[in-house]
Amino acid sequence: MKNEGTILYIRIPRTGGTSISLAASGSSRLVSFKHEPLSSILLRRPDLAVAWVFTVVRNPFDWLVSVYHHLRENPQRDARGVVEGKDFRQYAEWATSGDAPLIVDDEPSYKRSYASPQVEWVRLYREEPALTVNSLGRFETIERDAGELLAELGLPRALEKTNGSKRGPYREYYDRALRERVARFYTEDLDRFGYSFGGSP
């Protein structure tokens, strides 16, 4: 990582953010705002424009299943009732329908959405192709990738697993039609981060 200044950690939902934040809580160099995209943070904190940006991403197929179960198991976090009365297929169809609220770049009071593609959390403007990330970790290798961050901060590399959901392998939730639908909606996540259904980057 090799950075001596401030590290801005963008916490995309369901990518190990609680575990990383707890492990890094002893460092004053790490700045993080829970589930807030980079574009919104920099509107409020332009001084962080020079920070080193770190985030963790996750296979979109697995990520969507994790989001669904997290909201089902923690209904107090589902303020909009987006999973209430829905099975996974119904939720996934809603999330990829265009009806789900997405991140709004130009509003200080951004709309948090679990449906937004992960790329939207780490770029400054919606139409801008470039992603503003200096260091990218993966949920699938979080112990190694977050360990590098913690080592950079001079902290122990150990991560405590928290906020896990009770569910089966994500492949069991999809048939061909739903897989293709989700792949179309999260095309940029799949392409940018090198994910596929059943594959590893």
Q: Which segment of 7-16, 108-117, 182-191 scores lowest on mean pLDDT?
A: 108-117
Among candidates 54, 50, 56, which has minimal Cα distance to 141?
56
Question: Residue 32's beta-bridge partner residues?
Answer: 9
pLDDT digits (tens, 9 = 90+) for 116-145: 899 988 887 655 556 778 899 999 999 999
pLDDT for 83: 81
Which tens digit of pLDDT belongs to each residue from 92-108? 998 898 766 554 444 43
Strand partners, 85: none
| Residue bearing the bigger pLDDT, 4 or 73 | 73
Please report which confidence band the pLDDT of residue 197 belongs to, taking 50, 70 and 90 as the band edges: very high
3-state secondary structure at position 54: strand
Rg (CA), the chain: 17
For residue 121, what are the contacts with CB-CB under 8 A and spacing of at least 6? 10, 12, 37, 38, 55, 103
Q: Burial of 138 by CB count in 10 Å (0-12 exposed, 13-18 middle, 19+ buried)?
A: buried
pLDDT mean across residues, the chain: 84
- Domains of the chain (ranges; CATH) run 7-193 (3.40.50)
* Helices and strands of the chain, counted as H and E runs: 7, 4
Tell me the pLDDT tens digit for each residue of 130-188. Answer: 677 889 999 999 999 998 888 888 888 777 777 677 788 999 999 999 999 999 999 99
